[in-house]
Amino acid sequence: MADGYPTPQAPADAVLEVKKSRFIAYAAPAATRAAALACLERARRDHPQASHHCWAYVLGDPDAASSAAMSDDGEPSGTAGKPILSVIQHKRIGDVMVVVSRYFGGIKLGAGGLVRAYAGASEAALSALTLVARMARLDAELALDFAQEDAVRHWAQAHGASIGAADYGSAGVSLMLNLAERDLAALDQFCRARAIRFDPKGRRESKP
C-alpha cells in the first residue's frame, strides 16, 4: 500500500481441523501490546476448554515493527508461536494479533504437523481480513524563534502535520508537532537549515 502499511479493519476468524484436533484462529487489529493481550483474553473466554491458546503479534509497520512477540502456550517449542508470527510477517500485515486456540483431538500431530496446522489456521484467518492502509506517525518538539513560527506552520500544512501545544516564552516558541514518520527526514533537513532545535518524542499510536 503506497500510502501506508496494511492493517486489519476488523477481526476475522477461521477454523482448521487436523486429525480430530480443531484449530480456531482469531486475527484482530492491535496497535498496542495491551490491545493484543485483550485479544488473547477474549480467545480464552470464548474457548475456555481449549488445550492451548497460542499467539503472535506485530505492532507498527511490518517492515520496521516497533514490537513483535509470540507464545507457544505449552506446545513444543517453535511449533506454534513462531509459525503464526512467520505467516504475519510473510503477509506483511502490521498492528495485528493472531490467536490460535487448539482443541486436542487425541491424536498427536508431531512437530511438523503442529507447525503446518498453526500456520494454516493463521493463514486462513489473515486471508479473511479486510485490510486498510495505516500511516505511522510520531511527535516532535520544536524550539524556535518567534520569527520562524510562520515558516514552521507553513511546513506543517504542506506535509499534513498537525501542531499541538504551543508555549510562548521570553526566549522563543516551543511547538509540539505530530507528523508522518516518513516525513521525519524532511523535518530534520528543514530544521537544520534554520537552526531550529527539534526533539523526536517517539511513535504515537498510528492513525488510519
> Do strands 162-168 and 12-18 pair parallel, antiparallel, or not at all (unpaired)?
unpaired
Provide the 10 A C-beta neighbour count for residue 146.
11
Q: Does residue 65 have a pLDDT over 80?
A: no
DSSP 23-88: EEEEEEE-SSHHHHHHHHHHHHHH-TT-SEEEEEEEES-TTS-SEEEEE-TTSSTTSSHHHHHHHH
> Can you give the residue ranges of every domain in the chain?
5-129, 135-207
135-207 is classed CATH 2.40.110.10 = no
The whole-number pLDDT of residue 63 equals 80
The whole-number pLDDT of residue 26 equals 98
Q: Does residue 185 have a pLDDT over 50?
A: yes
Provide the 10 A C-beta neighbour count for residue 131.
16
Asked if 96 and 27 touch (Cβ cutoff 8 Å), the reply is yes
Same-fold call for 5-129 versus 135-207: no
Say which residue the cell 507447525 belongs to. 115
Q: Does residue 190 have a pLDDT over 90?
A: yes
CATH number of 5-129: 3.30.230.30
